[in-house]
A and B are shown apart, each in its own frame.
Chain A
């Protein structure tokens, strides 16, 4: 245990001396994926509730595909599958992008969490009380203002507790990153394991690190809920 901590603490936390690894890499994956997913999900959630099937159907198909297949398979398709296509390798910007394992990983994670977040937000939008919309209309708000001031802020507030779950699940999903050669916490723990053959200590250290990150996320979301959902307090 002490040997692993002495030899691997740096790689576990931020760097193996050459590349970003461990906690820093896991957090980077989590934050970029969740930012991409969040900003994708807001317009898609609105489109998901549209009346026109030409608008809602593509969004439904996207969330169906990404929620209906394992993230591991999605990562394999994006990392290994896409780069085996000639047109990807022959198009300079695509080649540049898909060559790097980290880009593929962030893309896969972002699209995956985006699909789940879309459904979370779309559900929250559907739960908007008719009275709020009627009141907004009676004040003469345009459709855009209605979404900007009433529907989106209300939906995001209602979605917060469910969304915090999605972020924590995303943290757990980052353990797949080494499939695309990205050295996250688990990869360093596996290195420690294959160097020492001490699986209990190696993976326990990884578990504690994930637990700390989860705790931080739970705390941040708790604070956010206290702030944004204060009006629900008894």
Chain B
């Protein structure tokens, strides 16, 4: 009896795993996307608890093209790659820039969009994202971002005081309080997350980063996929190509941005 129960339990478990993992399924029925929903306009939570944003709309368009169900799973950005490896979801759809370090861990789809890294500071501060301009100043960055790596690689050794924060919200809070002279993050995040909000009216874009000889900023933003799932990658790549071709991408882009985020040249 015990043995039968055990085998029964095992079968149930096995079935459970099989339905949870589309990799094992013959045909793809749903894609689970891991999302750090704290990054408007790319991904955030609506007051009603729905995932909304540019990434979310692109993800839905990809799912619609593949005729599969879209599921979004909330996950903090600093643990998002381990969570992908742990199969909590099938792909990362969270404004993730492709970098060589990340490519060692996971695969990426083809390009989704692109955004330069930029410095923001008080209007008329005259600051520029260069060592000469920022020497002796305090610049805030979010820990774990490519912008932190950039500031620590090029600026810190030359006397810029680079301070890391646990979250982007705290960077803006200290920019407002006056602890920071400037902050470094990607341009669209700066624009939507701060400059376009009522708090950010006294601040402005102080310029995009243009100099990156060691290539720490990486290239474009894409969907992260586990290395053992080339089929899923191929399907997503094809879907991205289709939505760009048939104009769906342009429609979604126009909803969020007044500039072309696909062809924006990488900040090198």
Write the residues of chain A forming the contact surface with B, with a CB cutoff of 8 angstroms. 17-18, 80, 83-84, 89, 99, 101, 178-179, 181, 183, 187, 190-191, 193-195, 197, 199
A194 to B173, CA, bound (A): 23
Which residue in chain A gives the minimum CB-CB distance to B162?
A18
**By the criterion CB–CB under 8 Å, are B179 and A187 in contact?**
no
Counting chain A CB atoms within 10 Å of each CB, which of B78, B164, B177 scores highest? B177
A83 to B179, CA, bound (A): 9
Given contacts A83-B179, A89-B178, contact A194 B164 (CB under 8 A): no
Which residue in chain A gives the minimum CB-CB distance to B79?
A199
Min Cβ gap A195→B in Å is 7
- By secondary structure, the B interface counts as helix
A191 to B144, CA, bound (A): 7
Which of B101, B173, B176, B177 touches A195 (beta carbons < 8 Å)?
B101
A191 to B165, CA, bound (A): 12
**By the criterion CB–CB under 8 Å, are B164 and A197 in contact?**
no
CB within 8 Å of A: which B51-104 residues: 78-79, 81-82, 85, 101
A89 to B105, CA, bound (A): 45
**By the criterion CB–CB under 8 Å, are B164 and A187 in contact?**
yes
A178 CB contacts on chain B under 8 angstroms: 143, 166
> For this complex, into which size category does the number of interface residues on chain B fall?
20 to 34
**By the criterion CB–CB under 8 Å, are B166 and A179 in contact?**
yes
A178 to B165, CA, bound (A): 8
A197 to B101, CA, bound (A): 9
A183 CB contacts on chain B under 8 angstroms: 164
B79 CB contacts on chain A under 8 angstroms: 199
Given contacts A178-B166, A179-B166, A187-B143, contact A18 B78 (CB under 8 A): no
**By the criterion CB–CB under 8 Å, are B177 and A83 in contact?**
yes
A17 to B176, CA, bound (A): 29
**By the criterion CB–CB under 8 Å, are B143 and A84 in contact?**
no
B238 on interface, CB distance cutoff 8 Å: no
Which of A83, A89, A191 touches B143 (beta carbons < 8 Å)?
A191
Min Cβ gap A92→B in Å is 13
Given contacts A89-B178, A99-B179, A181-B164, contact A197 B143 (CB under 8 A): no
